[in-house]
Structure 1
Amino acid sequence: MSTRHPVMAALAVLAYVIMIVPILFVVATSFTAGGTLRFPPDGFSLRWFGAALEYEPFMGALVSSLQLAALATVLALLLGVPVALAIHRGRIPGRNLVEGLFLSPLIVPELVVGLALYQQLMIGLGLANFQTLLIGHTVLMFPYAVRVTGASLALADPALEEAARGLGASPLRTFLTITLPLLRPGIFSAGLLSFITSFNNVPLSLLLQTRHFRTLPVTMLDYVQQSYDPMVAATSTLLLAGTVVVALVAERTVGFAKIFGGINR
């Protein structure tokens, strides 16, 4: 690419620099021995990591974020997998239009979704903020389940399912023994992507949560507005390290390149 398309190569390098350099600044700042966020850091220390792990609002919000992300991911998969099967294996008129409709939450601003949920569910129906947040996160994660699972189906050979049916297998047995194993990498990838996206969500969570239920990203945002110490940088570094470890394990186990390569099919 560097010889044939030097301009594109330069733009790609610039994009990587813009994305990665700020992250490196945050990681470096989290190891500072000083008491304020500044670069270059004042010495080397791990004390801010210990402070982050001992800070009760962060730990409580971490548990809340994990619960919300896990439940939203499960619900999104339970709804998205049947939809993906119907789109890619069923005979639906206007399949592309139907799929686009189910993917539409990706293009609607999250603040608009949050405001609609707040007005209709929290005010109109009196639902608790956790229930409303769960519905909102499920709606936002639903397109990931449909699209990534659909990519896995696009890579699978439908002749295998037809052969099983031709040999006398029932639709349920065909799904459990043939289709589900073919879908497993896509389900795993969609679940992981949905979980990380839900866990890191800010706009929707910021609009719908109250002081009784707060997610970690919003709690960190509130902390930054009140304090200027490196504890938020240390927390961000821990979350980044955890995300990288999970992604590496998933890549070795499933192989994201193969799954996401079918999205353009």
Structure 2
Amino acid sequence: MRRPVAASLAVLGYLIMIVPILFVVATAFSAGRTLRFPPEGFSLRWFEAAVTYDPFMESLVSSLWLALGATALALLLGVPATIAIHRGRIPGKGLLEGLFLSPLIVPELVVGLALYQQLMIGLGLDNLTTLLLGHTALLLPYAVRVTGASLALADPAVEEAARGLGAGPVRAFVTVTLPLLRPGIFSAALLGFVTSFNNVPLSLLLQDREFRTLPVTMLDYVQQSYNPRIAAMATLILAATVVVAVIAERTVGFAKIFGGINR
């Protein structure tokens, strides 16, 4: 082992991240009535309790719709911006790209407070519209950066060849540029969806009682109840995320896309 210190720190970091998750998963299979480790026996009843709990299921639907809508809007805005930055002849490309990436730097609580003051109080928008716009802003960096990495890996000569063979701008985009961007768009959509679905700070500030996301509902639940139902719900979300990630890796391959981000 050439770098034992770095390898040891890496292993320690993985343990710090993974061990608490294993505790939660183990607790979800407990037969007891309280969250405790080691679990009291083995049972699947808390999974049934989680999927039959109405507040969880209602907020799950809300989170899915919000994540899908924010991801779609972010891609509709981010993909054209990416093409303009990488293929267009516009001044200040670096500044423009930094502007799209700025939501990664600004704390989400600050973004939420600004949206609340400017959109809800200033313009009178409702909570759902403001929340959708806020999530879209948070997902724009993923749409621009990941699709930009996919476009950077593509050979511009292919597009030029399509133009030289008589393809118009629209046909060249549909038949050449869009297939080249497809892996990046898919990866950006997956990252954006997971980020929006799991968001707490922005959702906590902007949502109302009629529209509540699942992470905030789970946060409220754990403040009121102390049983393994919350652990079972968290385990189900974790399992769904792992399944989606495995399918995406098999169909797209994240290593190729994310490797291009550093280029």
Which of the five TM-score ranges fits, normalised by the shorter chain? over 0.9
Give 2:252's aligned residue.
254
CA distance in 1, matches of 2:257, 2:80: 18
Residue 72 of structure 1 aligns with which residue? 70
1:39 matched to 2:58:
no
Query: Which residue pairs with 1:50 in the alignment?
Result: 48
- Length-normalised TM-score, structure 1: 0.98
Aligned pairs for 1:177-196 within 5 A: 177-196=175-194
Deviation (angstroms), 1:216: 0.1
Q: How does 1:221-260 map to 2 (within 5 A)?
A: 221-260=219-258
Distance 1:67 1:224 in 2: 24
Q: C-alpha distance in 1, partners of 2:224/2:100? A: 40
- Following TM superposition, by how much is the alpha carbon of 1:102 offset from its aligned partner in structure 2, in angstroms? 1.1
Aligned-partner SS, 1:144? helix
| Secondary structure of residue in 2 paired with 1:43 | coil
Aligned to 2:59: 61
Residue 92 of structure 1 deviates from its aligned partner by 2.2
Segment of structure 1 superposing worse, 86-95 or 76-85: 86-95
Q: Which residue of 2 aligns with 1:22?
A: 20
**Distance in 2 (alpha carbons) for counterparts of 1:123 and 1:219:** 25
The CA RMSD measured in Å over matched residues stands at: 0.6
**Which residue in 1 is equivalent to 2:128?**
130
1:203 is matched with: 201
Match of 2:11 among 13, 33, 48: 13
After the TM superposition, which parts of structure 1 deviate over 3 Å for at least 4 consecutive aligned residues? Answer: none
Please report how far the alpha carbon of residue 123 of structure 1 lies from its aligned counterpart in structure 2 after TM superposition: 1.5
Corresponding residue for 2:165? 167
Q: Which runs of 5+ in 2 are unaligned?
A: none
Partners of 1:78 and 1:69 in 2: CA distance: 14
Q: Which of the numbers 103, 106, 111 marks the counterpart of 1:105?
A: 103
| Equivalent residue, structure 2, for 1:142 | 140
Uncovered stretches (5+) of structure 1, i.e. residues with no partner: none
TM-score (norm 2): 0.99
- CA deviations over 1:16-67 (Å, ceiling 9, x no partner): 0000000000000000000000000000000000000000000000000000
Offset of residue 97 of structure 1: 2.1
The number of residue pairs the alignment matches comes to 263
Q: Which residue of 1 aligns with 2:153?
A: 155
Partner amino acid for 2:84?
A
How far apart, CA to CA, are the structure 2 residues paired with 1:142 and 1:97?
15
Deviates more, 1:129-138 or 1:115-124: 115-124
**Structure 2 residue aligned with 1:90, among 72, 81, 88?**
88
Letter in 1 for 2:20: P
The separation in 2 between residues aligned to 1:217 and 1:98, in whole angstroms, is 32
Shifted more, 57-66 versus 85-94: the winner is 85-94
Once the 2 structures are TM-superposed, how far is the Cα of residue 94 of structure 1 from its aligned partner?
A: 2.7
The 2-side partners of 1:125 and 1:90 are apart by 34
Distance 2:210 2:121 in 1: 17
